[in-house]
């Protein structure tokens, strides 16, 4: 059951994450999770920190996946699981998770940032031609500059 103490620890953990202090974030999320083991948000953040800072990839993957199973529509859970996959060196898994997260929030800047970091590229404009074909290059540049929203939606 979520208590004021666990909620306070969770908020502190998020603040530590923003400050890039993973040690303190891990401790805060761990306290929140141990007080309420059924809360998917605590589960997700604790699992992510346990994997990134604690090096326990298996536990991190398990907790983040369980959180998604409980509340599949929360984009931040997909972001956390994607970070764990990236830390584990599983680029394919991270791409799949981030793309799934985009279904729930196609405009998520954070997910799009990670997709770019992973080198994800949308399909070429004319799939029958190679990406390096000058026509595809020209059309890709043209559409990206003139219709950026059109190009963003193609990454889904």
pLDDT tens column, 84-140: 999 999 999 999 999 999 999 988 999 989 988 888 766 777 888 887 888 888 887
Mean predicted confidence (pLDDT) in 34-63: 95
At residue 156, does pLDDT exceed 50? no
Strand (E) or helix (H) holding 1: none
As a whole number, the mean pLDDT across the chain is 89
| Other beta carbons within 10 Å of 114 | 21
Range with the lowest mean pLDDT among 12-16, 63-67, 104-108?
104-108
Rounded CA-CA distance 20/25 in Å is 8
Those residues whose C-beta lies under 8 Å from the C-beta of residue 153, and which sit 6 or more positions away, are 106
Q: Looking at the 3D structure of the chain, how many domains does it have?
A: 2
Two tokens at 74? Answer: 């929360």
Which position has the higher pLDDT, 150 or 9?
Answer: 9
Residues 114 and 152 in one domain: no
Residues 75 and 103 in one domain: yes
Strand (E) or helix (H) holding 133: none
Instruction: Calculate the CA 12 to chain-centre distance.
Output: 20
Residues 30 and 74 in one domain: yes
Residues 69 and 144 in one domain: no
pTM, two decimal places = 0.77
At residue 2, does pLDDT exceed 90? no
At residue 79, does pLDDT exceed 90? yes
Rounded CA-CA distance 147/23 in Å is 43
CB of 81 closer than 8 Å to CB of 97: yes
Two tokens at 25? Answer: 């974030």
**Domain residue limits at 156:** 122-156
Rounded CA-CA distance 71/56 in Å is 23
Residues 79 and 109 in one domain: yes
At residue 15, does pLDDT exceed 50? yes
Residues 83 and 147 in one domain: no
Residues 111 and 154 in one domain: no
Residues 14 and 59 in one domain: yes
- What pLDDT, on the 0 to 100 scale, is given for residue 21? 95
Strand (E) or helix (H) holding 33: helix 22-35
């Amino acid at each position: 059951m979520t208590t004021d103490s666990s909620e306070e620890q969770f908020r502190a953990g998020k603040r530590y994450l923003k400050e890039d202090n993973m040690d303190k974030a891990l401790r805060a999320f761990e306290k929140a999770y141990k007080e309420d083991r059924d809360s998917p948000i605590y589960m997700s953040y604790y699992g992510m920190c346990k994997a990134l800072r604690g090096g326990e990839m298996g536990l991190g993957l398990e907790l983040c996946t369980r959180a998604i199973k409980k509340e599949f529509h929360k984009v931040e859970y997909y972001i956390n699981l994607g970070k764990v996959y990236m830390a584990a060196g599983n680029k394919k898994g991270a791409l799949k998770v981030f793309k799934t997260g985009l279904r729930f929030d196609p405009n998520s800047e954070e997910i799009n940032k990670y997709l770019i970091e992973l080198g994800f590229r949308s399909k070429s404009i004319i799939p029958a031609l190679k990406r390096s074909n000058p026509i595809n290059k020209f059309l890709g540049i043209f559409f990206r500059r003139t219709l950026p929203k059109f190009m963003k939606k193609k990454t889904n």
